Amino acid sequence: MIFIYKVPQVKGFVHKDQFPRPNLNDSLEGEIQAFLTDEDQLHTYDDLTKVNPVTPTTVLKCLQARYNARVFYTHAGCTLVALNPFQPIPDLYSVDVMKEYHCAPQPQELKPHIFIVAEEAYRNVQGQLEPVNQSLVVSGESGAGKTWTSRCLMKYYATVAASSSVVKSQDIVGRIERRVLDSNPIMEAFGNACTLRNNNSSRFGKYIQLQLDRSQLLVGASVQTYLLEKTRVACQPANERNFHIYYQMIKGATDEQRKDWKMPCGQHFVWLPNAEKTVEEDCFHETVEAMVHLGINAERQREIFRILAGILQLGNVNFSPSTDESQPCNLEEQAAELFSIPTEELQLALRVRTLKAGKQSVLKPCSQTECSMRRDCLAKVIYAQLFEWLVAFINNSICADKSMWCNFIGILDVYGFECFQLNNLEQLCINYANEKLQQHFVAHYLRAQQEEYVSEGLQWSFVKYQDNQSCLDLIEGSTVSVFSLLNEESRLNRASDCKMFRVRLEKELCDNVNISWDKFSKVPHFTVAHYAGKVNYQIQGMVEKNKDPVPPELNSLLQKSDNSLLHQIFTDKETDNMTSKGLSKVTVVSKFKNSLESLMKILHTTTPHYTRCIKPNHDCKPLTFKKEEVIMQLEACGIVETIHISAAGFPIRIPFTSFLQRYGLIAKYSNFQSESDCASKYTLSLYLSHCLDSDKHNSWVHCGRTKVFLTQSMVNLLEDQRNKILSQCAFVIQCCWLRYQRRRRQARRKSATLIQAAVRSWLVRKQVQRWNRAATVIQDTWRKWKALLKSLAEAELDDAKDLEEENVPELNPVIRERGSVQLSTLQEPVTVRGWPMGLALASAPSITVSLTATGFQKMMSVMASLNLPSRRGEYKVEPNQYTQGLASIRAQPKGSVKLHYQRSPLLYADRQPDLKSEVTGFNEILLEKTL
């Protein structure tokens, strides 16, 4: 959200050597008119520090001209001014635009954008400039665009972290990014509402810490919330709505879900006004999808929505006066059934309260007003506890372990300054938070910087500004303040009296000029002069809201609920109450004050970046600029004073030690004789002014007593020069390393070559020796085998000379005719010659076999050795004379035949062939014949 600061109008800015003259106003008016003459060029001023002179009028005219030109971001020194266009602007926040600003060498040179602020904070974390942790403070009135700006910032960091991640962690970063972004729809659905000023007004404050690891990658996030406006659950201002989640349920639920939630179509709910109005945030599907991504399963979702539906049913409960005992209340079973508690016990808890008298308990019926208050209290406490449970669940889902991250970037989005016709405790706390954040801006920038300039010896004339410390003392003072008196009144065990409380406020705080009273008003109230304007606060009901009492009967009843989520929430709450037993009662303002002080401690330890969201008109009309409303916001947030200090001051302040540690290498490695490098020139000027002449300075840099003061332009030049030198050093290191690696690689290659040559020569010698030995053995064996074969052939085979005959004499026609069988498949008989006698023959079904033998002895041997059956298909005849070796038969074998010979071709000598299988070779026939 935005914080609005009201500062008196400043007519000019002068240094000590420029004293005001009597005609200053006249000359200033002339300068203003001269500046505004060329209106066509006003929209070109992207930084308001370039405006001359700087006055509310000139600043307003420039912003109006840029707004009319559809330029919505403008630099104002250390802050960024953002004007709400109240309509979507295509491609203004696309991923391509994000990458353009992220990859730019100098993002400040691009057009003003919220991504410039985001990138500056991100680069501060990368550069490890102290303090490393960053905070982005988004401030403005309700409807100025704070929530949208926070969304854009979260999307930017999620995109930047994901784009710079390594490949192996793409899935992890994507999951974290998605969960961090999915926390927004849930938080807005349960914590935002449609008001008169804004369709998506945050009714709570949140500070989101985006957790980064050492590589500046997004590894997690955490959410811290402040002061949920839970009274809106049971009481909605006129023409405003309840929280978004209820309207999402009504418009997006299915018939089955409506039946489960006891919410039939057409049912009217008292706590659901303006249900017919539709806004962009009424997207039930998006909320449910975000719940699924965060790990809320379907059963837990059902429990959540049944609790919400039960709260709506409570709003329809009416109570009868105490005199009508027949109809105490019209409580139906829907609410009790949705809460999973007995209907009778719920009626009793709403109608009867328990009073303790010593050790005894007394039951007392409640009046009609008291019953309504107890009903509203029940609804508010259930919704508040459910919201806290959601926040805790989101943190458990997206928060990373402390060991995984080292730095963070915080995004602060809180409610804007509020002033309505009726303002109560909620508006007092909201405006108090804006006062604290305004004080942070004043202390960090408007006051601290100027005081530091003077203490460091800079010639400086103070720019006047409004310090709201007196208003903070009025609200939160340590001795007597509005909060202290309110807490004291709340802790008294008595009924509050608003008139008496007002009298006490007048008595105790009459000396503070920031508070006043209207003595003629019949309604007790008090008026506080905030930095953004005066606000009237009514006292009626303020003390009761600060007490925030929850009847113990209601807590006990909810702890007995069969709804596991409701039972868990209130059981854990009871445990927390037991641990804090004995402490003083914690009120709403004391709890809110403590949480806000912890937030301020975090902000003081980080580097803040301010974004001022401006609301061009209160009607939220697109591209409508109302000067009166804009000028009030500019004066309230101190834009003019900020521009003055930014234009004349030095936003960057670095201690000497840190400066020399970071930029000393420029003086070491740069050539100061060269006038072309202005960064080196200014670095030399820094050293000279520090060591020789402390009064020497220029408009970009100044050396104080303990720090170096720099403008952003000077820092950019120094960073550029430093990056160049680091690049040169890195290049030299890379060259040396590459040369070393190359030499080492060459030496290793040479050594490897020598080793390989020696090993290969040894291997070749060994291999040749083995070959020689093997060849000798083979030759000897071959000679022996040849000789043996020759001897066997000479001894066993007769008529071997017939093998040498090339032309076999033609067979006798009679023998050929008688020794051949003609098959139907072949027209001519096929003659197969078998030689020598050991040739194995068999008949095949598809071939005609003709056997020719020369000599009576051979013919008789063959006929005696072979028994050719008359059946066809039993054997297959294949000649094996040259492929399977030789075999000899002297006589018909008797008994078992086993032939053994080294390297023998008789492969089947020891096998018994199957008669039904194809048999090849003469040896198998011999085995068969011996059976």
Q: Annotated binding site for ATP: which residue ranges?
A: 140-147
What burial class does residue 401 get, using C-beta atoms within 10 Å of its C-beta: 0-12 exposed, 13-18 middle, 19+ buried?
exposed
Cis before 836 (ω within 30): yes
Give yes or no for a contact between 204 and 415, defined as CB atoms under 8 angstroms apart: yes
- Report how far residue 141's alpha carbon sits from residue 811's, in angstroms, rounded to the nearest whole number: 126
- Report how far residue 151's alpha carbon sits from residue 329's, in angstroms, rounded to the nearest whole number: 45
- One-letter amino acid for residue 759 of the chain: V
Give yes or no for a contact between 711 and 650, defined as CB atoms under 8 angstroms apart: yes
Give yes or no for a contact between 35 and 53, defined as CB atoms under 8 angstroms apart: yes
DSSP bridge pairs for 360 = 357
Give yes or no for a contact between 420 and 237, defined as CB atoms under 8 angstroms apart: yes
- Report how far residue 591's alpha carbon sits from residue 577's, in angstroms, rounded to the nearest whole number: 14
Looking up tokens 């002080």 gives 597
- Report how far residue 929's alpha carbon sits from residue 865's, in angstroms, rounded to the nearest whole number: 9
Q: Could you write out the DSSP letters of every residue in 305-369?
A: HHHHHHHHHHHT--B--TT--S-SB---HHHHHHHTS-HHHHHHHHHEEEEEETTEEEEEEPPHH
> What is the bridge-based pairing of β-strands 407-413 and 134-140?
parallel
Q: Kindly give, in sequence order, each residue whose CB lies less than 8 Å from that of residue 797, ignoring residues fewer than 6 positions away.
A: 836, 837, 886, 888
Give yes or no for a contact between 603 and 135, defined as CB atoms under 8 angstroms apart: yes
Binding residues: 140-147
**Rg of the chain over all Cα atoms, to the nearest angstrom:** 50
Closest C-alpha to 713, from 726, 699, 723: 699
Give yes or no for a contact between 240 and 274, defined as CB atoms under 8 angstroms apart: yes
Give yes or no for a contact between 385 and 570, defined as CB atoms under 8 angstroms apart: yes
Q: Helix count (H) and strand count (E) of the chain?
A: 30, 17
Closest C-alpha to 490, from 498, 381, 506, 598: 498
Q: What's 269's DSSP letter?
A: -
- Report how far residue 140's alpha carbon sits from residue 634's, in angstroms, rounded to the nearest whole number: 10
- Report how far residue 773's alpha carbon sits from residue 295's, in angstroms, rounded to the nearest whole number: 77
Angle, in degrees to the nearest 10, between helices 56-68 and 639-648: 100
- Report how far residue 4's alpha carbon sits from residue 526's, in angstroms, rounded to the nearest whole number: 21
- Report how far residue 240's alpha carbon sits from residue 236's, in angstroms, rounded to the nearest whole number: 6
| Neighbour count for residue 479 (Cβ, 10 Å) | 7
What burial class does residue 396 get, using C-beta atoms within 10 Å of its C-beta: 0-12 exposed, 13-18 middle, 19+ buried?
exposed
- Sign, CA dihedral 371-376-377-383, equals positive
